Amino acid sequence: MRIVLLGPPGAGKGTQAGWIRDRYRIPQLSTGDMLRAAVANGTEVGRQAKAIMEAGKLVSDDVINAIVAERIDQPDCAGGFILDGFPRTTQQAAALEQMLAERGLALDVALEFKVDPAALVERISGRFSCASCGTGYHDQFRRPKVDGVCDVCGGTEFVRRKDDQPETVQARLEAYEAQTAPLLPYFRERGLLRTVDGMAPIEEVTAAVAAVLEAVVKDDGAANA
Ligand code: AP5
């Protein structure tokens, strides 16, 4: 299954991508994580991306398209993948369509997390993750079971993202409205858009995602029968 996750910063894309990855055993391709890794490793892409990301703006389409094209050719993507944070502009969406067509592939679904923008600053500013394994938490909505200890790996160090400060979050939300929101009609016109209520509690959003994806699997099965 090939899935695109859509929604503004803090909508819950990464949170639900983790569940989808484990349920369907397909990799989560987060362009944000790839760029943060490039920044941490001091690569050329990382050097170009650092200031742009810290300002809450979008990294250039050419750089992102090249990263994704290379990543989807890796063997772990053969059975499908989750695109988390890509595409983010109509140019990236067109590039994705071409990338897939060149490989004889197609997208199964574009899943939108519909949220109230007013709630997002609170969601994002409360976010933190385990410094060892990357598992995500929230001060209020998803605390570790034991305070200060990661549920997954037992790590005791946690980090917060630099671009999660309120001023930068505002710039990221504006970039989403201007450059990414136009992708909703783009995917709707192609019959690929499905929407879930991203304001519900995390477990309820997961149940709605599961229902959408099970229907997609069923439709695919029927089409291939
Ligand atoms: P990226 O890393 O993709 O960030 P983003 O899209 O801004 O999304 P977030 O990771 O902030 O939010 P999310 O929707 O994953 O929410 P999460 O699940 O963590 O991009 C960062 C930067 O990289 C961009 O600004 C840009 O500069 C660059 N970039 C990346 N891709 C690019 C591209 N394609 N083109 C150009 N530039 C690109 O949830 C947030 C918090 O809320 C968590 O703490 C979670 O526990 C909590 N939460 C989640 N769901 C719920 C719920 N239902 N109820 C309550 N709390 C919840």
pLDDT in tens for each of the 225 residues of the chain? 999 999 999 999 999 999 999 999 999 999 999 999 999 999 999 999 999 999 999 999 999 999 999 999 999 999 999 999 999 999 999 999 999 999 999 999 999 999 998 889 888 989 999 999 999 999 999 999 999 999 999 999 999 998 998 889 999 999 999 999 999 999 999 999 999 999 999 999 999 999 999 999 888 777 666
Give 225 Cα–ligand 1 centroid separation in angstroms. 37
The token duo for 200 is 């519900």
pLDDT value, residue 218:
87
Q: How far apart are CA 7 and CA 177, in angstroms?
A: 10
pLDDT value, residue 35:
96
| Strand partners for 6 | 112
pLDDT value, residue 220:
78
Give 14 Cα–ligand 1 centroid separation in angstroms. 6
Residue 36: partners with Cβ closer than 8 Å, 6 or more residues away: 53, 161
pLDDT value, residue 122:
86
Q: Where would I find the H helices in 4-136?
A: 13-24, 31-41, 44-54, 61-72, 90-102, 120-125
Pocket-forming residues, ligand 1, beta carbon under 6 Å: 7, 9-15, 31-32, 35, 52-53, 56-59, 64, 85-86, 88, 92, 123-124, 126-127, 136, 138, 141-142, 163, 172, 198, 200-202, 205
